[in-house]
Amino acid sequence: MNLKPYIAYARKSFLMRSAYRFDHIMQILSTCLQIFIYWEIYRSLYGSSIEVDGISFGMVTTNFVLSLGFSAGFYVNDFYLPQKIWDGSLVTELLRPISFRGRMLAENIGNGVFSMLFRFLPAFVIGVVLVGICPPESAAALGLFLVSAALGYGVLWTISFAVQMTAFWLVNIWSIVTIKNVCINILSGSMIPIWFMPEWLRNLIDFTPFSSIYFTPVQIYLGQLSGREIAGKCLLQVVWIVCMYGIGSVLWKRGQRKLVIHGG
Amino acid sequence: MDGLITVEHLHKSYRISKRGKGIPGMLANLVAPKYEKKDAVKDISFQIAEGEMVGFIGPNGAGKSTTIKMLSGILYPDSGQILVDGKVPYRQRKQYVGNIGVVFGQKSQLQWDLPVIDSFELLKAIYRIPDQTYKRNLARFTEMLDMQEFLKQPVRQLSLGQRMRADIVAALLHDPKIVFFDEPTIGVDVVGKETIRTFIRELNAQDQITMLFTTHDMQDIEKTCKRLLIIDQGNKVYDGALSGIREMYGTTRTLDLELQTEVQVAPIPHVTISRPDDSNPRKWQLQFDHHAVSVQELMGFLLATYPVRDLNISEPEIESIIRNIYGGRQSE
Amino acid sequence: MQSDTIHLIGVYLKTTAKAWFQYRVDAIMRSLAVFLREATGVVVIYLTLMKFQDLNGWNVYEMLFLCSLLFLTYGILIIFFTGLRDFGNTVRKGEFDRYLLRPRGLLFQIIFVNADWFAAVGHGCLGISLFLVTAGKVGVVWNVGTVLYYLFAVLGGVLIQGAIFLLLAALNFYLLETDSLKELLYYDMKKFAAYPISIYSKVIQICMIYVIPFAFVNYFPAQFFLRKQDGAVYPFACLYLTPVVGGGVYLLAYLFWRYSIRYYKSSGN
């Protein structure tokens, strides 16, 4: 397979993002503020306690810096495909001798690298300076954390990929995308650490892909999981990626058929 | 001449961001963006009398849209004066805009999801159009533009030509004294264009509405306007009658000659001779400036000297003259 | 207001409603989505306080009473200020040119041309239900005085947020892009405001009272009823000043808007 056009797409989207300089500075600030708000809240909630349920304040802070930082850096454009369906450009895109899904992924990688460099990294550094985080448990934990974070991004992206496909059938997918994001915000642990959720909710979350996005990498980073558990959780991440991509691809195939009938 | 529209030494510039190339350029731009000043309109003056219909043309980026936007009160000029119907557009906006209509060919003012008639009703309320005037205008314009069939259809279902007709009516419902058209035929098919031109011509003739008209289609100008304003790179290049432009810039004549036999045409002073068709050695083409060479003498000479079978003299197309004007300026 | 102006408002409302009702299912879905999105904050507060009982002395009902004001004011705000919220888009798409070409006030057109009824319904429902659930539980005594206070506080809260929208809209005349600035100055500040200001450090407290006066939208009105001794330091008069602050900042934002219109650069073709 010739990778050249895909690299070109990735590079182009990386460069395109730089147009809105002001936007990036504001986004970084916005992420830092959110981290700061949660830090303040939990500082107040912890008061003089050192640990709550075996979780120290430092661990909570680490959870917020990493998961909110990643949510700024993990770039997902939920309207990439819907936009192309609405303006009719998808039909011409499909005629090009390259895989559309490949292109979608390539552009996302370009954007994702940009976001990690210019959104996650600055916010992370400021977060560390401002509120401080725990160091990684070990060098190995750090390495596995990075692997798991990349898989977490894969889960986030494939969920969006599957949701976007509904645009073949719906006039407007804004509502569905919003509801999806509500689920991610609440259930991924980026707004309330999964440790502090009631038991029944934690059990429920185990059956969803949401904890695989940010929480698994964070747990690995903090050394909360044994080697065996790490392998299991990472495998689960892979399973979710395959699942979501599979669902998305089935919808993609069907949607294309619908497009052909309609497009005439 | 006392103009209804008077424009004097109009100037407007923009600040545009300059971006470097590739990843180093991007990084430089992230840290320290560079800007440069671009003059959209450098120094333009003209007057338009009541009831006139003026074609306003120029290449892309010449400053047409900027000028129209200043004339209609959307933009403040950097310097210079505009007085339209005794008002300064950008200062007395509310009083002023009730008397003008503006059609932007590329930006519809109709409600996308609603039937055309709903947009008209909304405009009636916005412009405080009296019932009688509204009914009269609506009936008259829909008749003239043949719009009954799609008046109740949502705008999103209309063809570009239909939408454009509806947009033109939308700009006219409140009986404006002056109408600015910015590319009113863009993307419209040949028949549609003709309908729009006829309508504009009739409206100008019947109602004495003053019109300024930008377009890329020279046919629009030739079929509607008597006067032409050409701007290029923010400056006025030509202002005068449409016919005058031929006198000034289009003095070249082309004489196509067909002989009965294969005879060589000998050189003639001030005339360029060529063979337009290699496969037919009896065909010749002669080009000359009709101020330097008398058409009558040349024809007499040719008829007397050569066995002429057919002969035809043509003036240059207005379109190619204009192209030459732009081209000449750009190569300066 | 003249009768033709009222008539025009009526026509605007009819047009907006007609356009929305072209897609009925979508309309219901949107309201639901907005409701759920906004409920996220409530769920987070609820779950957090289930674990920790209270936040700096505020129990879960008091916290949600504080939030209810935020949702209620936004629900009202968005009926009138959708056009200002989306003003960046209006400018970018060149639609502001049209507003300038019509013989009506610019703000008048921006306010009445569009209203995001889904956001209004979503936020409004959440605000009202939170209010109904919590008002009884936090021990509010209702009489003519407190009811009047409440109404004026809501009005003031709407105006304060309206002023922020107006200020941001005016910045569109200078900047290419203001969405992220809006994110920072409005939406992030609102996230701060969902919690009692007393939990924040001094700098943030001062910012919320004197710079972007979000504290007047919900914290001070809630404190008027609750009088919690939570350690925040502020002049006592603040509890009564919401309508004054609202009127004041709105006027300032309006003057800035008036001044800025001349810098409008219509987007090029």
DSSP B213: E
Long-range contacts of B264-267 (CB under 8 A, 24+ apart): B265/B306
The mean pLDDT value of chain C amounts to 91
Interface partners of chain C (CB pairs < 8 Å, 3 or more) are A, B
Give the pLDDT of residue A262: 56
Calpha distance C254→A105 (Å, rounded): 45
Six token digits for residue C53: 């009982």
Q: Which residues of A touch C (CB under 8 A)?
A: 20, 22-27, 29-30, 33-34, 37, 40-41, 43-45, 52, 170-172, 174-176, 178-179, 181-182, 185-186, 191-192, 196-198, 201
Q: Which residue of C has its CA nearest to A45?
A: C55
- Gyration radius of chain C over CA positions: 19
| Chain B CB within 8 Å of residue C102 CB | yes
Which alpha helices (H) appear in chain B, and where do they start and end? Answer: 22-31, 64-71, 93-97, 116-126, 131-145, 160-170, 190-207, 218-224, 242-249, 295-305, 318-330
pLDDT digits (tens, 9 = 90+) for B244-268: 887 777 788 889 999 998 888 888 8
Q: Which residue of C has its CA nearest to B13?
A: C265
pLDDT digits (tens, 9 = 90+) for C196-236: 999 998 988 999 999 999 999 999 999 999 999 988 889 99
Those residues with Cβ within 8 angstroms of residue B294's Cβ, 6 or more apart along the chain or in another chain = none
Sequence-ordered strand ranges (E) for B19-86: 34-48, 53-57, 79-84
pLDDT digits (tens, 9 = 90+) for C117-175: 888 888 999 999 999 999 989 988 889 999 999 999 999 999 999 999 999 999 999 88
- Report yes or no: B43 and B10 within 8 Å, Cβ to Cβ: yes
**How is the beta sheet containing B100-104 ordered, strand by strand?**
B79-84, B5-18, B34-48, B235-241, B227-232, B53-57, B210-214, B178-182, B100-104
Give the pLDDT of residue C108: 94
Min Cα separation B172/chain C (Å): 13
Q: Which chain B residues have a beta carbon less than 8 Å from that of A14?
A: 23
Calpha distance B115→B111 (Å, rounded): 8
Partner A, chain B 31-60, Cβ-Cβ below 8 Å: 33
Contact yes or no for A196 and C48 at CB 8 A: yes
Q: Is the pLDDT of residue A9 over 80?
A: yes
Q: What angle do CA C185, C93, A104 make, to 5 degrees?
A: 85
| Chain A CB within 8 Å of residue C47 CB | yes
| Chain A CB within 8 Å of residue C125 CB | no
Surface-to-core class of residue C24, CB atoms within 10 Å of its CB (0-12 exposed, 13-18 middle, 19+ buried): exposed
- Report yes or no: C198 and C56 within 8 Å, Cβ to Cβ: yes
Q: Which chain B residues have a beta carbon less than 8 Å from that of A24?
A: 30
Give the pLDDT of residue B20: 65
Q: Which residue of B has its CA nearest to A23?
A: B30
Contact yes or no for B97 and C268 at CB 8 A: no
Q: Which chain C residues have a beta carbon less than 8 Å from that of A52?
A: 51-52
Question: What ipTM was predicted for this assembly?
Answer: 0.86
- Of B327 and A80, more confident: A80
Calpha distance C215→C199 (Å, rounded): 13
Q: Which of C180, C184, C201 sits opposite A40 (nearest CB)?
A: C201
Contact yes or no for B26 and A21 at CB 8 A: no
Interface partners of chain A (CB pairs < 8 Å, 3 or more) are B, C
Phi and psi of A22, rounded to 5°? -60, -40
Residue type, A145: F
SS3 A147: helix
pLDDT band at B69; cut points 50, 70, 90: very high
pLDDT band at B2; cut points 50, 70, 90: low
CB-based burial, B57-80: b 16+ in 10 Å, e otherwise? bbbeebbbbbbbbbbbbbbbbeeb
Q: Which of A212-226, B240-254, B272-286 has the lowest mean pLDDT?
A: B240-254
Q: Around Cβ C130, how many Cβ atoms within 10 Å? A: 22
Phi and psi of B209, rounded to 5°? -75, 135
- Please identify which residue in the block is written with the tokens 């007393």: C198
Strand partners, B286: B255, B273
Q: Is the pLDDT of residue B102 over 50?
A: yes
Six token digits for residue C268: 């090029």
- Report yes or no: B128 and C4 within 8 Å, Cβ to Cβ: yes
Six token digits for residue A142: 């750090």
Average pLDDT for A67-79? 91
Type and span of the H or E element at C258: helix C242-260
Phi and psi of A91, rounded to 5°? -60, -45
Give the pLDDT of residue B329: 53
Q: Is the pLDDT of residue C269 over 60?
A: no
| Domain spans of chain B, in order of start | 50-247, 251-315
Give the pLDDT of residue C115: 85
Residue type, B318: I
Min Cα separation A33/chain B (Å): 22
Q: Is the pLDDT of residue B332 over 50?
A: no
Q: Which residue of C has its CA nearest to A191?
A: C44
Q: Which chain B residues have a beta carbon less than 8 Å from that of A12?
A: none
Calpha distance B210→A223 (Å, rounded): 79
Give the pLDDT of residue C268: 53
Highest mean pLDDT among A16-25, B1-10, B229-238, C78-87: C78-87
Contact yes or no for A174 and C176 at CB 8 A: no
| Conformational region of residue B98, where left means phi above 0, alpha means psi within -120 to 50, and beta covers everything else | alpha
Those residues with Cβ within 8 angstroms of residue C68's Cβ, 6 or more apart along the chain or in another chain = C126, C127, C128, C130, C131, C134
Q: Is the pLDDT of residue B159 over 60?
A: yes
Contact yes or no for A21 and B33 at CB 8 A: yes
Calpha distance A155→A176 (Å, rounded): 18
| Chain A CB within 8 Å of residue B23 CB | yes
| Chain B CB within 8 Å of residue C268 CB | yes
Surface-to-core class of residue B32, CB atoms within 10 Å of its CB (0-12 exposed, 13-18 middle, 19+ buried): exposed
- Gyration radius of chain A over CA positions: 20
| Chain A CB within 8 Å of residue C118 CB | no
Calpha distance B37→B13 (Å, rounded): 7
| Domain spans of chain C, in order of start | 3-263
Six token digits for residue C237: 């008069």
Contact yes or no for C18 and B114 at CB 8 A: yes
Q: Around Cβ B129, how many Cβ atoms within 10 Å? A: 19
- Please identify which residue in the block is written with the tokens 């993609």: A252
Q: Closest Cα partner for A154 from A70, A97, A230?
A: A70
Calpha distance A161→A250 (Å, rounded): 11
Strand partners, B227: B54, B241
- Please identify which residue in the block is written with the tokens 């007057």: B47
Q: Which residue of A has its CA nearest to B26?
A: A18
- Report yes or no: B207 and B50 within 8 Å, Cβ to Cβ: no
Q: How many CB pairs under 8 A join A and B?
A: 14
Six token digits for residue B238: 């030509």
Average pLDDT for B128-150? 94
Q: What is the dihedral of CA A80, A82, A88, A93, to 10 degrees?
A: 40
Q: Is the pLDDT of residue B34 over 80?
A: no
Q: Which of C7, C15, C265 sits opposite B111 (nearest CB)?
A: C15
CB-based burial, B272-283: b 16+ in 10 Å, e otherwise? ebeeeeeeeebb
Predicted TM-score (pTM) of the model is 0.83
Q: What percent of chain B has pLDDT over 90?
A: 48
Q: Which chain C residues have a beta carbon less than 8 Å from that of A45?
A: 48, 52, 55
User: B50-247 adopts what CATH topology?
Assistant: Rossmann fold (3.40.50)
DSSP secondary structure, C205-239, as one string = HHIIIIIS-GGGTTHHHHHHHH----S----GGGG
Give the pLDDT of residue B30: 63
Q: What percent of chain C has pLDDT over 70?
A: 99
Partner A, chain B 268-327, Cβ-Cβ below 8 Å: none
Give the pLDDT of residue B158: 92
Calpha distance A24→B27 (Å, rounded): 13
Contact yes or no for B114 and C262 at CB 8 A: no
Partner C, chain B 39-78, Cβ-Cβ below 8 Å: 65, 69, 72-76
- Gyration radius of chain B over CA positions: 25
Q: Which residue of C has its CA nearest to A184?
A: C40
Phi and psi of A135, rounded to 5°? -70, 160
- Of B171 and B226, more confident: B171
| Chain A CB within 8 Å of residue B22 CB | yes
- Report yes or no: A207 and A190 within 8 Å, Cβ to Cβ: no
Q: Around Cβ A104, how many Cβ atoms within 10 Å? A: 20
- Of C150 and B25, more confident: C150
Sign of CA dihedral A210, A216, A217, A219: positive
Contact yes or no for C101 and B97 at CB 8 A: yes
Sign of CA dihedral C198, C199, C201, C206: negative
Q: Which chain B residues have a beta carbon less than 8 Å from that of C7?
A: 125
pLDDT band at C254; cut points 50, 70, 90: very high
Q: What percent of chain C has pLDDT over 90?
A: 65
Give the pLDDT of residue A264: 39
Those residues with Cβ within 8 angstroms of residue A139's Cβ, 6 or more apart along the chain or in another chain = none
Q: Around Cβ C132, how many Cβ atoms within 10 Å? A: 10
Min Cα separation A97/chain C (Å): 32
The mean pLDDT value of chain B amounts to 87
Contact yes or no for B122 and C102 at CB 8 A: no
Type and span of the H or E element at A38: helix A21-46
Give the pLDDT of residue B22: 64
- Report yes or no: B75 and B69 within 8 Å, Cβ to Cβ: yes
Min Cα separation A22/chain B (Å): 9
**What separation, in Å, do the N-terminal and C-terminal C-alpha atoms of chain C show?**
37
Those residues with Cβ within 8 angstroms of residue A36's Cβ, 6 or more apart along the chain or in another chain = A130, A131
Six token digits for residue B38: 């671009």
Q: Which of A211-225, B19-33, C44-58 has the lowest mean pLDDT?
A: B19-33
